[in-house]
Amino acid sequence: MSWKYIIILVLTAFVAGVVFMVITASKQTIDMVDANYYEKELKYQGVIDAQEKLLAVGDSILVKDSADLVMVHIPVEATGNISEGYLEFLRNSDKSMDTTFPIRVNLQGVQYIQKQAFAKGHYKLRAKWINSGSTYYDERNVFFQ
């Protein structure tokens, strides 16, 4: 085989690789976790304060999943008188799989959620609630099997 054919073969393989990468990249979805991220960033000091209040209690949210239930445990010291709040599960790979639940914990600070509400994979849990006039916030990554 002569050099001109080798050069043509290499250049053809290179062009084919570039075309493949462009087609693959164009099929990727670009979903941001938050649509209004700039406005939320400006209010982030309130989130920092709410996280520090939860740390002052000395504990954080615990998430465990079993065969059919997901258990979310919030520290009892931060759940005595919850007036409002939410558990937001964000799926980074697919925005349509995001789910939000109102916080309704029992006396032990536990809330159970049916596991069928989640697909297998990684989620980001954002929890925010108001207990006796104080705002609490926690954020963590969770994985459901």
Query: What's the first-to-final CA gap in the chain, in angstroms?
Result: 54
pLDDT at 32: 62
Here the tokens at position 81 are 């008188």
- β-sheet with 134-144: strand ranges across: 99-102, 82-90, 121-131, 134-144
CB-CB neighbours of 112 under 10 Å? 14
Beta strands in the chain (DSSP E): 62-65, 69-73, 82-90, 99-102, 110-114, 121-131, 134-144
- pLDDT for position 34: 66
Neighbouring-strand partners of residue 24: none
Q: How much is the pLDDT for 31? A: 67
How long is the chain? 145
Q: In the structure encoding, which two tokens stand for residue 80, read together?
A: 């005595």
Per-residue pLDDT of the chain (145 residues; tens, 9 = 90+): 788 999 999 999 999 999 999 999 888 876 666 667 777 777 778 888 888 888 888 778 888 888 889 999 988 888 888 889 999 999 888 888 889 999 998 888 899 999 888 888 899 999 999 988 889 999 989 998 8
- CB distance 100 to 86 below 8 Å: yes
- Confirm whether pTM is higher than 0.75: no
